[in-house]
Structure 1
């Protein structure tokens, strides 16, 4: 856990300095007063500043990272875990060798692990957290593949004047297709079927 020590003319001032250093709010830390301030003789001789130790408490994402570390350790995988806090979501990226088992077929294992990671994070958080889990930039590469597929299938539908039904996809992947073809001049998209066999239809306008 991250902790810092700071001094100040008062305990409050020392704590404020620590919060700035940690980049945290007071409700996210544990404060230990190591030394109370004293004015000394005549307010000059032997005067001492307050000294505090401020420890950053783990948040939901910290618990999520610890959970992922336990999972990868159990799989005997050497994985580096990086965290990137955004405004609306937290991206946790995994990197290392032989991550195919963590990704699974079309990212199904990665999606399942992301679901569990979100459960762990929100169980230890007082606010809702949205965590996106990625491994070796799989999600970026998958997005690019799906967007290219969208363009090809939209072109085929426009040429043949026939609707095209894509293979079943997860909700997040269907969203990529819908977003890519939104506003297309010749086709529209909608989803049909029940999970886990729900799929995107590219239809002629």
Structure 2
């Protein structure tokens, strides 16, 4: 996907709005964190990472992730709404906190690779467990890179990926 200078500028603006919103949230929650912004895969990407000079008495950023990323998903939606309120445009912004999504992406790629190997060995489809849209996208991308096909089936929140034989 080739982005124009105008696209990049718009995505950077989304990142700046999101960063302002998240800074205010961190202040309210009395959490220390640094915010990194980037443009990846045609969308704004914002990461909240532990501040280098974090006060040890400050709360832990993982509280903003939740047990299995539920809080992170909710914060991402709230951040997208904040961007929408400012720009009038729907945002596809991706939020990561304390490296949760980066680690989850690695874990999912490994699981998808294992499913691909199983499909190649048995010639039969493999149905994976229910996943969020972010998780399914990672799996679909990994499966596509392997040369196999995959599809999503079911209804939220039980929607899952099925890896198909070639």
TM-score band w.r.t. shorter chain: 0.7 to 0.9
Higher relative contact order by CA 8 Å / sep ≥ 6: 1 or 2?
Answer: 2
1:172 equivalent in alignment to 2:166: no
* Deviation sequence 1:10-46 (CA, Å, 0-9, x none): xxxxxxxxxxxxxxxxxxxxxxxxxxxxxxxxxxxxx
Name the counterpart of 2:165: 204
In structure 2, runs of 5+ residues without a counterpart are 1-12, 51-58
Give 1 or 2: higher strand fraction.
1
- TM-score normalised by the chain length of structure 1: 0.61
* 2:24 matched residue in structure 1: 70
CA RMSD in angstroms comes to 2.5
- TM-score, normalised on structure 2? 0.74
Q: How far off is 1:123 after superposition?
A: 0.9
Count of residues in correspondence between the two structures: 146
Q: In 2, distance between residues paired with 1:113 and 1:204?
A: 37
Equivalent-residue separation in structure 2 for 1:87 and 1:199 (angstroms): 23
Structure 1 partner of 2:149: 188
* Secondary structure, aligned partner of 1:77: coil
Structure whose CA Rg is larger = 1
Structure 1: unaligned runs, 5 residues or longer: 1-58
Query: Residue 12 of structure 1 corresponds to which residue in structure 2?
Result: none
Residue 149 in 1 paired to residue 103 in 2?
Answer: no
1:106 aligns with 2:68: yes
Structure with more of its chain in helix, by fraction? 2
